[in-house]
A = this chain, B = another copy of it.
Amino acid sequence: MSDKRIAVIGGTGDQGKGLALRWARAGFEIIIGSRDAARAVAAADAMRATLESNGSGSVRITGAANPEAAVSASIVVLTVPFAAQVGTLKEIRERLAPGSLLVDVTVPLEPAVGGKPTRTLGVWAGSAAEQCAELSPPGVEVVSAFHNVSADALADLEHEAECDILVCGDSKEAKARLRPLIAAIAGCRYVDGGPLANSRTVEAMTALLIGLNIRYKTHTGIRITGLKE
């Protein structure tokens, strides 16, 4: 399997949809995963229609239940609400092929327990990404990324997304597998965010940005200044 096939688990949510749209448009083959296969297929059909009416030509985007989506891709991107992270991982982990890359996008926002989206919950493992790694089978590499880029910015295909993507993980090679996926989103830039544990901070930054979005009535992202890459 090549890294051109990406499963977006929870791909019927806003963050998953935005990423799937950008990647499908760039020529990646996308499988939308959902707990409900019919919802996944409907979401995939709607995205294909959006892209084709947008002049993107023929795009490859299909839908499936989460386990079927996970089994069929070498890069599996987890974009579910925090409250669904553990359950979804338990549902897909036996289906992940050795050598596949699991990309956690989960942010432990407080609404998982009825709180505010401008605040995060403490996670015993340290971060949602580290919790994801604890629940992943051997042979599957876990990295985290795409927390800070706004779903609205991703869905707005006419504009660049204007956000650096901090990629956290304990293997430099695993992180580098995301370079083509990030290069495929206009306005995004790959930044090596350090070890997986740094996801603690990158996840929390999402809540900070949500606060800025509310305060400034806009959608924000981040740039790291001073990098010469």
- A residues whose Cβ falls under 8 Å from a Cβ of B: 118-119, 150, 153, 162-163, 166, 191-194, 197-198, 200-202, 204-205, 207-209, 211-212, 215-216, 218-229
Report the separation of the CA atoms of residues A153 and B229 in the bound assembly, to the nearest whole angstrom: 18
Contact of A198 among B162, B208, B228 (CB under 8 A): B208
Which chain B residues border A211 with CB–CB below 8 Å? 193-194, 198
The smallest beta-carbon distance between A174 and chain B, in angstroms, is 16
Which chain B residues border A194 with CB–CB below 8 Å? 118, 208, 211-212, 215
Which chain B residues border A227 with CB–CB below 8 Å? 212, 216, 218, 220
22 A-B contact pairs sorted by A residue (CB < 8 Å): A118-B194, A118-B198, A119-B197, A162-B226, A192-B216, A193-B211, A193-B212, A194-B215, A198-B208, A198-B211, A200-B204, A201-B204, A201-B208, A204-B204, A216-B228, A216-B229, A218-B226, A218-B228, A219-B226, A220-B224, A220-B225, A221-B226
